[in-house]
A and B are shown apart, each in its own frame.
Chain A
Amino acid sequence: MTRNPRSLTFKGKIGAHAVLLAFTLFSIYPVLQVISISLRPGDRLLSRSLAIIPENANLHSYYQLFFEEPFLRWMVNSIIISFFVTIVGVSLAATAGYAFSRYRFRGRNASLLGIITTQMFPVTMLLLPLFIMLIKLGLYDSYLGLIIAYSATALPFTIWQMKGYYDTIPYSLEEAAFIDGASPLYAFYRIILPLAVPALAITALFSFMAAWSEYLVAAVLIQDRQLFTLPLGLKLFQSNMEVAWGLYSAGAVIVSIPVVLLFIFLSRWLISGLTLGSVKG
C-alpha cells in the first residue's frame, strides 16, 4: 500500500501547523505593530506597552496626516508617477519580451545579456551620473525625470519575465493564425497577448511597485517639497529630531494597503508567473 505523498500523519499535521503558525506570526507581527502605533492617542506614542490594540485607540494620527500634513499632495504625486510608469512599463515589456521570445535577430543575445548585466550595477553607478547630468542640464525636480528613471529600472526584470512566459506559449498558435491569413501584428495582439494576461498582471504589479515604493532615486532627484513622493514624505517624519511615530505609522499603513491588496490579489498568478517566467528563462 502506498499513500498519497502529499498527505501527512496526524503528528506531522500538528508539527506542520506549529511551524506555519510560528512563521506567520513572525511575518505579520511588524505589520500589526505599525497598525497599533498608528492608532495610539497622541500622548501615548512612546508607550512601553506591547498590546496590539492600544488603550484609547483613535484615528487622530490619520486625521493629522490628511488635514495638517501635505500627505495628500505626496500621494497625488506618487499616483501620477506610478500610473505612467505602469503604462510605459507594461507596454514596453510586453512588446520587447515578445520579440525576444519569438524572433531571432542580430543583437538579440547581446541585448538579453546586457539586460541581465544591468541588474549587477550598484545603484550609485547610475545615480551619480544621473545626478551630475541633471544638475548640468538644470533638469532637477521634475516628474518626467522620475518617470523615465523608474520605467527603465523595472524593465530588465519585467522583460525577462514576459519573455519567459511567452516561451511557454506554443508557436503553433501563431502559425495557425498565419495560415488563416492573420498578420504578425494581429497574431500578437489578438492571440498571444490575451493568453499572457497572468504575466502582464505581474509585470504591471512590479512596474507599479518600482515607482510607488522607491526611495533612493527620488531622494537624489527631488528636492522641492511640493514634488515629494510618498517615500520621501514618510522618511521626513522619521528624520526630524523628534520622530513622528504616529504620523509615520499612519502613513505607512495607508501607503501599504493598495500594494499589499494588489499583491495578494495577484498572488495566485505569482507562483506560475514567476517560476515559468523569470526563472526558467
Chain B
Amino acid sequence: MKFVDKKNNWQSASGKSEKFSGHNRLAYLYVAPALLIMSFVVLYPFIYNFVISFSNMNLAHFRDWSLKGLHNYLLVLSEKSFWYFLYKTILWTVINLVFHVTIGVYLALILNKDIRGKTIYRTLLILPWAVPQYITALTWRGMFNSEYGAVNLMLERFLGVQYPWLSTEWGAFSACLIANIWLGFPFMMIIALGGLQSIPDELYEAADIDGASPWHKFRNITVPLLKPVMVPAITLGVIWTFNNFNVVWLVSNGGEPSDKTHILVSWVYKSAFTYFRMGYAAAFSMIIFAILFIFGWKFIKSTRVTENVYG
C-alpha cells in the first residue's frame, strides 16, 4: 500500500512512520546549501537582469542608468536581426535534434543486438561526448580551414571539389551544424540504449509468434516503450541546443563572416560584451528565456516530472 504521511512529511510505503517527526527541519537542512549557492549565482543575477532590461544601461550610462520602461523590448522585437536570428536558431535546433535523435536511436538499436565488439564500439562512439566541448569546437574550426583543414583536403582528394566553409554565411552555419551533430549524438544514443535495455525480450518474441514484420515491431513495441525515456531527453536537448553558445561562437570565431553566423544567444553575447549595450542585451535575454519557458512549461505540465516514481 502506498500513501503519503502528510503529518510527518515522509512518503512511506508501509505507513509506519512514527519515527519521522522533525524530518521537515532535516529536509530544509539538506536543501539549504544547494539552494543558497544557486540563489547567489542564479536567482540574484536573474532579478538584476530583469531590472536592467528596463533600463538604458550601456557604456555611456554605466553608473547613472535610469529606467526607460519597455523601450529595450520594443527595440529588440522591431529589429530585423532578431527575427532573422530567431529563424536561424529554430533551424539550428530542429536540424540538430533530428540528426541527434535519428543517429542516436539508430545506433542504439544496433548496439542492443548481439554483436561482437559491442563494448568497443560503444566506448569509441561516446568519445565525442567525452571531449570537452570547446576543444571540439576549436578543433572542427581547424578542420574546416579552407586550405589546410582536413575536410577540404578530403573533399579535394576524393571528389575534386573545395568548399569555402568558414567564409560564407551558410558554409559557416553548416560547419557549426556538423560540429554540433558530431558532439551531440552520443547523449541520445546512451539514453536510447538505456531505454531499449528495459524493454523485455518477451514482447518481441510474442510479436514474432503473431508474425509481425520488423517495421510493425518497431512501430508498436519499440517506439511507444522508448517514448517515456526519449521525450524528456529530447526536451532537454532542445533547450541545450537552442542555447548552445560554445559551438556557434567558437567555430565561427564570434559570428564570422561579418556577424552573420549567430544564433540568438551568441548575438546577445556580442551586444553585451563587444558593444556593451547592457540594457538591450538584458531585454534580449529575457525574450530568449520567455521563448524557452513557454516551450518547457508545456512539457512540464504534460509529464508531471516533479512527481516521485513511487508517488
- Determine the distance from Cα of A34 to Cα of B219 in the docked complex, in whole angstroms: 41
Residues 16-37 of A at the B interface (beta carbon under 8 Å): 16-17, 19-20, 23-24, 26-31, 33-34, 37
Given contacts A29-B150, A252-B135, 6 further A-B contacts (CB under 8 A): A50-B153, A104-B6, A104-B10, A129-B45, A171-B12, A275-B229
Instruction: Pick the residue among B35, B103, B198, B205 that contacts A96 (CB under 8 A).
Output: B35
Minimal beta-carbon separation of A17 from chain B (angstroms): 7
- The verdict on A235 contacting B134 (CB below 8 Å), with A33-B150, A111-B35, A275-B194 known, is yes
Residues of A within 8 A of B83 (CB): none
| Contact of B272 with A by CB under 8 A | yes
Minimal beta-carbon separation of B103 from chain A (angstroms): 7
Residues of A within 8 A of B243 (CB): 120-123
Chain A, residue nearest B12 (CB): A171
| Contact of B172 with A by CB under 8 A | no
Binding site for B on A (CB under 8 A): 2-8, 12-13, 16-17, 19-20, 23-24, 26-31, 33-34, 37, 46-48, 50, 88, 91-93, 95-96, 98-105, 108-109, 111-113, 115-133, 148-149, 151-153, 155-156, 159, 167-168, 170-172, 175, 178-179, 184-185, 209, 212-216, 220, 231, 234-235, 238, 243, 245, 248, 252, 255-256, 259-260, 263-264, 267, 270-272, 274-276, 278-281
Chain A, residue nearest B279 (CB): A128
| Contact of B127 with A by CB under 8 A | yes
Residues of B within 8 A of A133 (CB): 45, 48
Q: Are A30 and B139 in contact (CB under 8 A)?
A: yes
Minimal beta-carbon separation of B140 from chain A (angstroms): 7
Q: Are B135 and A33 in contact (CB under 8 A)?
A: no
| Contact of B24 with A by CB under 8 A | yes
Residues of B within 8 A of A122 (CB): 243, 245, 264-265, 268, 285, 288-289
Provide the B271-311 mask, 1 if CB < 8 A to any CB of A, else 0: 01100001001101110110011001000100001101110
- The verdict on A33 contacting B143 (CB below 8 Å), with A124-B265, A128-B281, A171-B310 known, is yes
Residues of B within 8 A of A263 (CB): 126, 129-130
Residues 144-168 of B at the A interface (beta carbon under 8 Å): 147-148, 150, 153-154, 157
- The verdict on A255 contacting B286 (CB below 8 Å), with A122-B265, A148-B37 known, is no
Residues of B within 8 A of A271 (CB): 190, 193-194, 197
Residues of B within 8 A of A29 (CB): 150
Q: Are A256 and B278 in contact (CB under 8 A)?
A: no
Q: Are B289 and A120 in contact (CB under 8 A)?
A: yes
Chain B, residue nearest A260 (CB): B130
Residues of A within 8 A of B229 (CB): 275, 279-280
Majority-rule SS of A interface residues: helix
| Contact of B195 with A by CB under 8 A | yes
Instruction: Pick the residue among A8, A105, A113, A264 that contacts B306 (CB under 8 A).
Output: A113
| Contact of B105 with A by CB under 8 A | no
- Determine the distance from Cα of A17 to Cα of B107 in the docked complex, in whole angstroms: 11
Q: Are A274 and B194 in contact (CB under 8 A)?
A: yes
- The verdict on A124 contacting B285 (CB below 8 Å), with A23-B125, A27-B182 known, is yes
Q: How many residues from B make CB contacts under 8 Å with A?
A: 119
Q: Are B131 and A92 in contact (CB under 8 A)?
A: no
- Determine the distance from Cα of A276 to Cα of B193 in the docked complex, in whole angstroms: 12
| Contact of B14 with A by CB under 8 A | yes
Residues 211-232 of B at the A interface (beta carbon under 8 Å): 228-229, 232
- Determine the distance from Cα of A126 to Cα of B30 in the docked complex, in whole angstroms: 25
Residues 87-111 of B at the A interface (beta carbon under 8 Å): 103, 106-107, 110-111
| Contact of B176 with A by CB under 8 A | no
Minimal beta-carbon separation of A5 from chain B (angstroms): 4
Q: Are B26 and A213 in contact (CB under 8 A)?
A: no
Provide the B240-263 mask, 1 if CB < 8 A to any CB of A, else 0: 100101100110000000000000
Q: Are B124 and A24 in contact (CB under 8 A)?
A: yes
| Contact of B67 with A by CB under 8 A | no
Residues of A within 8 A of B278 (CB): 128, 132
The CB with the most chain B CB atoms within 10 A, among A111, A128, A214, A276, is that of A128
Residues of A within 8 A of B150 (CB): 29, 33, 50
Residues of A within 8 A of B300 (CB): 113, 116
Q: Are A121 and B123 in contact (CB under 8 A)?
A: no
Residues 38-54 of B at the A interface (beta carbon under 8 Å): 38, 40-42, 44-46, 48-49, 52
Q: Are B134 and A231 in contact (CB under 8 A)?
A: yes
Chain A, residue nearest B137 (CB): A215
Q: Are B9 and A105 in contact (CB under 8 A)?
A: yes
- Determine the distance from Cα of A108 to Cα of B23 in the docked complex, in whole angstroms: 14
Minimal beta-carbon separation of A249 from chain B (angstroms): 8
Q: Are A99 and B194 in contact (CB under 8 A)?
A: no
Chain A, residue nearest B273 (CB): A220
| Contact of B13 with A by CB under 8 A | yes
- Determine the distance from Cα of A19 to Cα of B20 in the docked complex, in whole angstroms: 55
Residues of A within 8 A of B157 (CB): 50
6 A–B pairs (Cβ distance < 8 Å), ordered by A: A6-B114, A26-B182, A92-B37, A129-B49, A155-B37, A168-B309
Residues of A within 8 A of B41 (CB): 126, 130, 148-149, 151-153
- Determine the distance from Cα of A172 to Cα of B15 in the docked complex, in whole angstroms: 10
Q: Are B26 and A185 in contact (CB under 8 A)?
A: yes
